[in-house]
Amino acid sequence: MKEIASFPSFSRRDSEAVPWQRSAVASGVEVKNLGTADGRAIQLVKFAPGVTFPDHYHTGPEFIYMLEGQAVQNGELLSAGWVGIAAAGTVDHGFRSETGCVFLFVYDHGQVFDSVQPPMKG
């Protein structure tokens, strides 16, 4: 049987070993930073019941896969198993969870989540 080469650009991580950290942007939100590669980041995000995340502008695309609970993204309900996709240049208004939720989140690593204004160029 042929041996498969190991590539240093591949990595894996046990998400249970990664600690939950408080969000710097919203109270009641915790994140697990699972990794970054090529300018993208992946996180597990947990909202406590009743939390609303600040409105924010997307400098790049954002992908959400709801694992547990429910959230409302721009007036649309996301339940477990649903996917939410936000294109670059859009604004999230009132992303909130009444039940609490956990979702997988993929985004551009340098994205800022505390402004509804596009970044200044220059």
- For residue 3, being part of any structural domain is answered with no
Rounded Cα distance, 62 and 40, in Å: 10
- CATH number for the domain spanning 103: value is 2.60.120.10
- For residue 14, being part of any structural domain is answered with no
Structure confidence at residue 2 (pLDDT): 52
Structure confidence at residue 117 (pLDDT): 61
| Model confidence, pTM | 0.84
Structure confidence at residue 58 (pLDDT): 87
Q: What domain range includes position 104?
A: 19-108
Structure confidence at residue 27 (pLDDT): 93
- For residue 4, being part of any structural domain is answered with no
- For residue 10, being part of any structural domain is answered with no
Of the pLDDT bands very low, low, confident and very high (cuts 50, 70, 90), residue 115 is low
Q: Based on the structure, what is the number of domains in the chain?
A: 1
Q: What is the mean pLDDT of the chain?
A: 87
Rounded Cα distance, 22 and 20, in Å: 7
